Structure 1
Amino acid sequence: MNQVHLIGGEKGGVGKSVMSRVFAQYCIDREIPFAGFDSDRSHGSFTRFYSEFTKHLILEDFQSLDQLAETALTGNRLQVVVDLAAQSSTSLRGWMEDTGVLELFREAGVMVTCWHILDDGKDSLEMLGRLLDDFKTGVRYVVVLNHGRGSRFDAFFASREKNRAVELGAKIIELPKLSEGSMRLVDHSNSSFWAAAHGGTNGEQLLGLLDRQRVKIWLKKVYAELDKLGLQQN
């Protein structure tokens, strides 16, 4: 079964691109076939760090968005990972209505999963509610509590949005925090998480010993969360 993973959150700076990047690294390390698409209009960090696997999308161009549908419909046991830009829901819904692509996916047995990357702010929680309103039972959901963008998620666990997500079968996972200094070094190295943790393509050390160790420990924790999604069983 092919799967399309729409990794969003609507607001900027919530950690969508970090989640896309570490999900891509997870697929590489677990030998799960995947293809990446980056719709970020400004930074394009998913493309920058995983250019070998990623293509750029223009959300306002329906023909550009068609690329991800065609990839999902022609692949074999493929994970299609889409890093959505902030405020992308209007364009995405317009494309889906124009093409009827969700029905096309259902007929072809392609699973669509909407990821909502959540910080601990009220607006992020409200945006989760709007996502559930938009798609209801038409897709699957993954809610990611990003500890790199928040330390207390009590409001989420006590919320109506959380209850609705659970009723719709959402899986709730956590994205542990990697220290800001280590994440900054990874970003400045322009390298994948694997290269940052183990050395570049020529064996050069991009990070110091302890920062490499921090990245390795962080990846192990993130992978334990992603294992809960059961991708290798599909």
Structure 2
Amino acid sequence: MGRVHFIGGEKGGVGKSLTARLLAQYFIDGATPFTGFDSDQSHGTFSRFYKDFASPLRVDDYDSLDNIITIAETHPDHDLIIDLAAQTSARLGQWIAESDVFGIFTEMGHKIFIWHVMDDGADALSLLDKTLDSYPQQDIQFIVVQNMGRGEDFDAFEQSPIFQKAQQRNAYCMTLGKLHAKLVQKVDFNNLSFWAAANNRDLMNTPERQRVRVWLENAYTQFDHFLKHDEEPQDTATVEVQDFASQ
């Protein structure tokens, strides 16, 4: 059974493409076949770093969006990663509703994951609330990513009615640790995959490579929690990873 991962958050700059890249590297390291789609026409970050796995996607073009279904049909064993640019939810939602996309995936036996990547701002909470309301289907798995690289204090979210609402939808809440800013910049300027960042001795020194490895391992532990056991009934889980800014 394949899985379909819509990685969004609607807000720009919260780390959607970073999460898509991280999930792609997780699948590569785990020898899990996948196909990626990059809807950010202005930056194309996902396809820039993982060009052998991701292709452009236009959310304003049904022919382009329909290709997601075609790939799911022709490669039923593949996970699909759809990296959604900011402010694309309305057009995506229209395509999903008009084409009964989730019904198609259900018939195929594909499980749907909706990822909401967020910073610690109030608007990120309201956007999550809107996302939960937009997809009332009970068979959808929501994953909320609290990105410490884009926020330092998520207490307001965890004490909010929206967090309780996410819990009622059986969402998984994970915390994505912060990677050292200069290290992130080095990875980006050299167009490195996370595998290269963890292993390239010519561009990364030993402490840098190790920081990337530890960051990946902590993220992978959380991914394992809801991807390796996604068919088992489980309660909502909030799993913490450490902040690596001080390393």
Do these two structures clear the TM 0.5 threshold for a shared fold by scoring above it?
A: yes
Equivalent residues in 2 for 1:1-234 (5 A)? Answer: 1-138=1-138, 139-199=140-200, 205-231=202-228
Letter in 2 for 1:177: K
CA RMSD of aligned residues (A): 1.4
Letter in 1 for 2:164: N
Cα separation, 2, equivalents of 1:228 and 1:84: 23
Q: How many residues align?
A: 230
Cα separation, 2, equivalents of 1:185 and 1:121: 27
Cα deviation for residue 228 of structure 1 reads 1.0
Tell me the secondary structure at the aligned position of residue 113 of structure 2: strand
* Pair 191,232 (structure 1): closer, same or farther in 2 beyond 3 Å: farther
1:99-122: CA deviations, max 9, x gaps? 111111112211111100011000
Tell me which stretches of 4 or more aligned residues in structure 1 moved more than 4 Å: none
Letter in 2 for 1:225: Q
Could you list the runs of 5+ residues in structure 2 that have no partner in the other structure?
Answer: 232-247
Cα separation, 2, equivalents of 1:178 and 1:42: 24
Percent identity over the alignment is: 43
Cα deviation for residue 77 of structure 1 reads 2.8
Cα separation, 1, equivalents of 2:230 and 2:13: 32
Cα deviation for residue 232 of structure 1 reads 7.0
Would you say the 8 A contact 2:36–2:55 is kept in 1?
A: yes
Cα deviation for residue 147 of structure 1 reads 0.7
Letter in 1 for 2:120: D
TM-score (norm 2): 0.89
Could you list the runs of 5+ residues in structure 1 that have no partner in the other structure?
Answer: none
Would you say the 8 A contact 1:27–1:33 is kept in 2?
A: yes
TM-score (norm 1): 0.94
